[in-house]
Structure 1
Amino acid sequence: MPFAHSLQPGHILSVKQLHQALQLIVDKHLSLHTSLIFDAEMHLRMQRVITHEDKNNKNNMFSIIETTYETHEQLYEILHDEKRNPHLFDLAQRLVFRYHIIYYKQISSNHLLSDKDLIIFNFHLALFDIPSMKVFHHDLNQAYTTGQLLYDDNNNLRYLDYAVIEQQMSMTGASMFWLDILHDCELDQSLSLPFDRYRLSNEHQTYLTTSISIDFGQDLSHDFFIHASSNNISLEQLAFAIYFIFLFKLTNGQTDLCIAMNINHRYRDELKSIIGLFENVIPLRCQLVPHWSFHQLRKYVHETAKNIMNYSYFPLQRILQQYPKVSKPSFLDISFECISSMTKNDTNEIIPDDSQLSLVPFSLKIGENEIMSNFDFIASFQHNLDINELSFTINGSLDLFNTETVIKTAQRFHSMINQLFISMDSQINKPICELSLISPSEQLPSQSMNNTQVSFSSPLTCIHHEFVYQVMKYPRKLAVELDEQSLTYCELLHYVQVSSVTLLNEYHVFPGEIVCQCVERSLSMVIGIMGIEMAGGVYCPLSPRDPQHRLHALVE
C-alpha cells in the first residue's frame, strides 16, 4: 500500500531527521513491528509483536531504499514496482513497512531532499489501511519537528487480528440482517450488461480495464448538491439511486440488482481506535420497481443504504458462508464507490518543520485510459472538495468490453444524469422505466432511421388494405425474400389470410387488441405481422433473444 509524497517548491527535507522520526513511529506502533506466520498444521494465522529484546538490529525494523530517476518513464517503473512487487515485504520477519527515497538524477550528498525528489511510504496491506494514514501523518509531523513522540493509548497504532474483535462483538444481529436482506437473491447470476464478449470459466483474467471520466461541470454539480441537501440525503446515497436506475436501464429491465461496495470506514466505535486491515466488501442490493418514480426510489435507497451501513462490519466471508451453494458470487464483479478528494488543508499534507510534504496521488496506469482493476464494471463518483464539483468514472474490463462500448456507456450515464437534474421538476414523478438511456449523439441517427413515413398514391390508409391493393396490381411479383426463401404477393396473401382467420376464430382477437409476436426475423414474421393487421389487432413485436423476465414484463 504505497503513498507517494513530494515537497512543495522551494522547500527541503533532512533525510537524517526523517529517518529518526520514522524510527520513533515504528517503535511506538505495534502494527509496524508485527510478524504474521501461517501455521499449516493448526490452520491458523499466528501474530507476534517483536519486542525490544527481539530487536538485534534496530535499523532492520524497516527497509530503506534510495534510487534515482531522470525520466517520467523511469519514475513510473519505480512506482509500478512499489505497487505490484510481492517481494518487498517479509511478514515472517516483521518487515511490513519501508520507505523509498527517489532522487532526481543523483543521490543528494548533503542528505537533503528537494521538490523534484519523491518519498514513498509503503505498508503491507495486512497490517495497515487508508484511515491509518491520518495517524501516521500526525506522528510523522510531531516526530520530525520535535524529535520525540507522545504515547497516547487512544491513538496507539497497533494491529489486532479481526478475529479477536469478532469474538468481542455480537454478530447475531448482523447475521440475521444479511440473511434477511439477501433472501432469494441469486448471488451467482450475473447482470446482463452489454458485453462485447464473455469470459470462459477457465479463462485467464487480465485485470486490464478501460477508464472513462466525465466532469459534471459547475451547474450540474450545483443541482446535484441542492437536490441532496433539500431531500436530506447524502451525496453517496443519491449517487446509489442514480447508479441503480442506470443499471436497470443498461440491463434491459433487470429489477433485482446486487453489486459490491468497498467499505473503508469505521462504522462502529470499537473499531475507530484500532489500526489494521478493516476494509470490507459488502453486497448492496436494490429490488427496484419499474413504475416507481425517482422520488420513491431515492427514499428506498436511502433507507436500505442506511441499514446496510449499520451492519457493514460483518465480514464478507461470513456473509458468503451463509450461502454454501454459491460457488462464485457474481455481484463481486460489479462495484460502486463514492470518493471525496482531499483538500489542501486536509490530511494529505504534512508540514514537518514547515517543509510542506504533500501526498501525490498515483494509480497503476497501463496505457492511455487503461488501468488495473479487480472488477469487471465499476462506477466511481468523485467529489473535488477544492472546487466543490463532481465527476464520475466508468471502468470496464477489456476482457469483456470494447473501448468504444465503455465510452458509449459513460456518455449514456452522463446523459441520464443530465435528464434527471436539468429538468428535475418534470422528471421526479415520472416512472423510472420511462427514462431514456439514449445520449444526444445517438438521438439524431435514431430519429433519422425511424423517419419511415411514405406517401401512398392510394387513398387507402390501412396497411393491410394497401397490401391487398399491391396484391391485385402485382399478384406474381416477388413480395418478400430471405436467403433462399421467397414469396410472391399472391402466395403471401394466402398465408396471411390463413393466419388472420386463425386469430379470429381460435383466439377471438377483437379490433384494437394488442397481439404480441415473438419470432426471429423470417418470412413467418412478415406473415404474422400482416395476419395481425388483417384480423384488426395491434402488432407488438417481441425479440426471442430478450431475457425471459423482460418478455414476461412486456407481456404483462
Structure 2
Amino acid sequence: MTSVGSGPNISEEVFVFPASFAQQRLWFFDRLFPGTAFYNVPTAIRLTGVLDLAALEESFNEIVRRHEVLRTTFGTQEGQLVQLIASHSRVSLALIDLQQLPVSEREAAAQQTIAQEIQQPFNLAQGSLLRVTLLQLNSTEYVLVINLHHIVFDEWSIALLIRELGLLYSAFRAGKPSLRQATLTPLPELPIQYADFAHWQREWLQGDVLESQLSYWRSQLQNLSVLEIQSNRSHLNEPRYRGATQLLELPLDLSQALLALSQQEGATLFMTLLAAYQALLYRYTGQTDIAVGSPIANRNRRELEDLIGFFANSLVLRTDLSGNPTFRELLLRVRQVAVGAYAHQDLPFEKLVEELHPERQASRNPLFQVVFALQNAPIEQLELPGLTLSSFKFEITTARFDLEFYLWECADNFRSLWGDGWQQSEGLRGALVYNTDLFERDAIARMLQHFQTLLAGAVANRDTHLADLPILSVAEQHQLLVEWNQTERDYPELCIHQLFESIVTQSPEAIAVSFGKQKFTYQQLNSGSNQLAHYLRKLGVGSETLVGICMEPSPIMVAGLLGILKAGGAYVPLDPTYPAERLRFMLEDAQVSVLLTQGNFELPITSQAQPGNKGTDLKVVCLERDWEAIALCSEENLINRTTVDNLAYVVYTSGSTGTPKGVAVTHRAVNRLVCNTNYINLEPGDKVAQCANISFDAATFEIWGALLNGAQLVGIDREVTLSPQDFAQEIQQQQIDVLFLTTA
C-alpha cells in the first residue's frame, strides 16, 4: 500500500493497491474504446410517497464509506494498473426537477434523461465511479437512477447495494445520530475489502496452482471453433455494440417439467437449459463445436459474499455435439463440461485469454460470442419506509456480445432492469440481449419461440436426437409445409389471346402498350390484332401454323404476336439484327409458312421468296405495306380454334453447340409463368419494362406478364438499355414498376 496524495472529490490521502485481473481487462477496453458507456451498469427505481432526501443521500455515502471499491479510481505505476483508493469520498445526489413540465410530458422526459445518463461514460482515472440521480415527477413521485461502472460492480453487488440501501435509509430516516457506533449501526463493519481480494488473487494464482488451472483449460479449449450464427448482417470491422432486448416467459408446467428432467438425469436446471441452448445453436449453425460463455459470481469464499466489487468471472463451456446425440446424451456431455469448468473456475478469464492468445478481431469477443446464464444472485426486495417502490423500465441500447441470454427462476424474488411485468408470473423468465448490427427484432423473436419449442420437445422425449427435436412453431410449420410447399395453382384453361380478351372487356381504355410516343389502349390493340388475325386466316394460318415475325419492338409488333395467336398459329420470333444466314436457318428449320415483317428490313431469304414473288410456299406480310388490306378485315374477336395445350410460340436457343435449336412452348406454359403467380404480384396500374429482344425468352414474361394482368407494357430502346446511366434515368422517367433482368 502506498500513499500518493489526494485526488478529485476526495480528501486526505489515496492508497495504492494492484488491480484485479478482471479490472485489468475493463481498463484495457476503456483505453481501446475511450469515451464509451459500454460497461455502465444502470438501474432505475420508481419511488412513490414521502421521500427523505437527506436520509437517501447519507445512505449512499455510508455505502461508499463501507466499500472502498466505490472510492476507487485507476492509474498506472511502473506500467502496471493499480487501484487508487481515497480515504474519504462523498457522492452528491443529483436532483432533476421535472415538475415544471406538463404532466403528460414528464414520463417521456424521464426516459430521455435516463437514456442520456446511462450513455454518459465514466472517467476511470478521475471522479466517482458511482452516480446517483433523482428525477422528481411530482411532490410524491420520483425515479431513482443508480449508475456504476462495471469495473467496481457486478450482478451480485446489485443485491448487496439494495439490501444495504434499505437498511441504512430506514436507520437515517429514524434519526439515529451515528450509524458507525457499534450499538446503533444496522450493518457490521466489513472485515476485508475488494483490494484485499485483488492482492490475494495475485499472490495465490501462481506456480503450481496457476499451472493446474491453465493445464485444464489448454486441453479443454484447444482448436476452438468460432461460432458463426447466420444473420442477415455481417460483423462490422469497427463494432458499435448497439443492442436491444426481448423478453421470454416459460410457463410453470414447462419449468416444473424441466426441473424434474434435471433431477432424474442427475443434472442441475442450469445444465439442462444450457444443453437446450447449445442444441438450438447447433440447429441454427450446423456446427458441432459450440462454446458458450457463462458468467459466475466467483464468490466461493464466505468472506467475499458481502463485498461490493467486480468479482464475476466468465467460464467457457465448450460442448461437443457431434454424432447427432439424443438430448439425454447431450445433457450428459454438458454435465461433464460444467463440472470440469466449475472445478477450475478460479482462473480469471483474462489470464485464460492471455495464455491461449486466440486470434483477436475487433468485431468479435475472444473465445466466445454468445453468453448464457441462469441468474441466482440473492436479491431482496428493496423496502424504504413511507415509500412504494417499483422498477422503472428503460431501454437497454448496448450489447457486449452477439447474444446474451439470461434466465431467472420466479422464486428468486425477481428484480432487474426489465421492469415489473413479471411480478405475478410463474415459471422461468428470460431476457435475450442481442447486437442490433447483426440481428433483426423478428429474428430474435423467432429464436426465443424456437428455444421454448425445443425445450417442450426435450421434455416430451429426452431420447429424441437433436436434429429431430422440434423448433418450429405451429404457424411456421404451416408456412413451411403448406404455404411455401403448396406449389399447385389454379390456372385458367384459356389461351393467351383469350386471357387478353378478358382484360380488354374489363379495362378497354387502359393503356396496353407504349413505345415512345406510340400508345395503344387495350381496345385498340385488340381491334388491330383481330383484323390481322382475320387476314392471316385467309392466308391459311390455323392451329399450330408457325408464323415468323421479324420486327423491332413496337406496338405493331405486339399486335402481330396477338394476331398470330388469335388466328390459331404459333409465332416464331426472329431478331432482325441476327445474321442473315442464321435467320434463314431458323425459317427453314421451323418450316415457317408465313412471315410478318416491316418494310424497312431486307429479308434473309432467297430471291424467289421475296415479297410479291411467286413460286414459293413462304408468304410474306409487310404490316406497313399491307395494312390497307388488313384494315378491311373485321375488328371482332375470332372464334377460338386452339386449346391451352397447342403451341403458342417456338423460340430458338443461342446455338451454343453450333446450331440453334427451337424450343416449343404451349399456351398453358405461358399461363403458368405469368398468371396467378406466387413469386410476383402483377396487377392493373403496373408498368412493365420491355427490354429484351423478341427472340429472347425474357420477352415472354415482359409482354404477357403485362398484357395478361392488365398492366402497361413500356418499351425501352435497345441503345438505352446498354447505358446504365441512361437506363436508370429512363426507368425513373417512365415510372417503371416491374423489371425482368438476367445476369450477363
**Common fold by TM > 0.5:** yes
Residue identity opposite 2:63 in structure 1? I
Name which of 302, 305, 310 aligns with 1:277. Answer: 310
2:348 to 315, 327, 332: 315
Q: How does 1:251-262 map to 2 (within 5 A)?
A: 251-252=285-286, 254-262=287-295
User: Identity rate of aligned residues, in percent?
Assistant: 17
Residue of structure 2 equivalent to 1:99: 132
Q: 1:157 to 1:298 in 2, by over 3 A?
A: same
Give the alignment partner of residue 395 of structure 2, picking from 364, 374, 377. 364
Aligned counterpart in structure 2 of residue 3 of structure 1, from 43, 52, 66: 43
What is the alpha-carbon distance in structure 2 between the residues aligned to residue 152 and residue 12 of structure 1?
A: 28
Q: What are structure 1's unaligned runs of at least 5 residues?
A: 109-113, 366-370, 454-476, 491-556
**TM-score normalized by the length of structure 2:** 0.51
DSSP 3-state at the match of 1:86: coil
- Answer yes or no: is the 8 Å Cα contact 1:265–1:279 preserved in 2: yes
**Aligned counterpart, 2:512:** none
Letter in 2 for 1:444: H
Classify 1:484/1:320 alpha carbon distance in 2 versus 1 (closer, same or farther; 3 Å): farther
1:194 is the counterpart of 2:230: yes
Is the CA contact (8 Å cut-off) linking 1:348 and 1:359 kept in structure 2? no
Tell me the secondary structure at the aligned position of residue 50 of structure 1. Answer: strand
Supply the distance in 2 between the matched residues of 1:249 and 1:47 (Cα, whole angstroms): 45
Cα displacement string for residues 505-544 of structure 1 (whole angstroms, at most 9, x for unaligned residues): xxxxxxxxxxxxxxxxxxxxxxxxxxxxxxxxxxxxxxxx
How do 1:490-529 and structure 2 match up within 5 A?
none
Aligned mates of 1:30, 1:12 — CA distance in 2: 31
The within-5 A match list for 1:28-107 is 28-39=66-77, 42-51=78-87, 61-69=90-98, 70=101, 71-87=106-122, 91-93=125-127, 95-105=128-138
Within-5 A mapping of 1:77-476: 77-87=112-122, 91-93=125-127, 95-105=128-138, 114=140, 116-146=141-171, 147=176, 148-149=179-180, 150=185, 152-154=188-190, 158-160=194-196, 162=198, 164-169=200-205, 170-186=209-225, 189=226, 191-200=227-236, 203-252=237-286, 254-269=287-302, 271-324=304-357, 326-328=359-361, 331-339=367-375, 346-351=379-384, 354-356=385-387, 358=389, 360=391, 362-365=393-396, 371-385=397-411, 387-421=425-459, 424=460, 427-448=461-482
Cα deviation 1:474-530 (Å, max 9, x = unaligned): xxx99xx9999899899xxxxxxxxxxxxxxxxxxxxxxxxxxxxxxxxxxxxxxxx
**Are the structure 2 counterparts of residues 293 and 430 from structure 1 closer, same or farther at C-alpha, using a change threshold of 3 Å?**
same
By relative contact order (CA 8 Å, sep 6+), the higher-ranking structure is 1
Offset of 1:74 from its aligned partner?
Answer: 1.2
Q: Which amino acid aligns with 1:6?
A: R
Distance 1:50 1:80 in 2: 30
Cα distance, 1:272 vs structure 2: 3.3
Find the residue that maps to 2:150 and give its secondary structure: coil
Verify the 8 A CA contact 1:160 1:275 in the aligned structure 2. Answer: no
- In 1, the alpha carbon distance for the partners of 2:431 and 2:661 equals 54
Deviates more, 1:291-300 or 1:411-420: 411-420
Q: Is this contact kept in 2: 1:364–1:372, CA < 8 A?
A: no
Q: Distance in 1 between matches of 2:43 and 2:162?
A: 11
SS at match of 1:66: strand
2:54 aligns to what? 16
Deviation of 1:251 (Å):
0.9
Does the 8 Å CA contact 1:128/1:277 hold for their aligned counterparts?
yes
1:79 Cα deviation from its structure 2 partner: 1.5
Partner of 2:126: helix, strand, or coil? helix
Q: Give unmatched runs, 5+ long, in structure 2.
A: 1-40, 412-423, 489-647, 664-744
What is the RMSD computed on CA atoms of the aligned residues? 3.7
Q: Distance in 2 between matches of 1:50 and 1:44?
A: 19
Compared with structure 1, are the counterparts of its residues 161 and 489 closer, same or farther at alpha carbon in structure 2 (3 Å cutoff)? farther
Name the counterpart of 1:518.
Answer: none
> 2: CA distance between counterparts of 1:484 and 1:268?
81
Contact 1:340 1:384 in 2 (8 A): no
Task: Specify whether residues 485 and 445 from structure 1 end up closer, same or farther in structure 2 by C-alpha distance, changes over 3 A only.
Answer: farther
Query: CA separation in 1, counterparts of 2:431 and 2:66?
Result: 39
Relative to structure 1, the CA distance from residue 488 to residue 288 in structure 2 (aligned partners, 3 Å threshold; closer, same or farther) is farther
Deviation for aligned residue 1:265: 4.5
What is the CA–CA distance in structure 2 between the aligned matches of 1:361 and 1:314, rounded to whole Å?
37
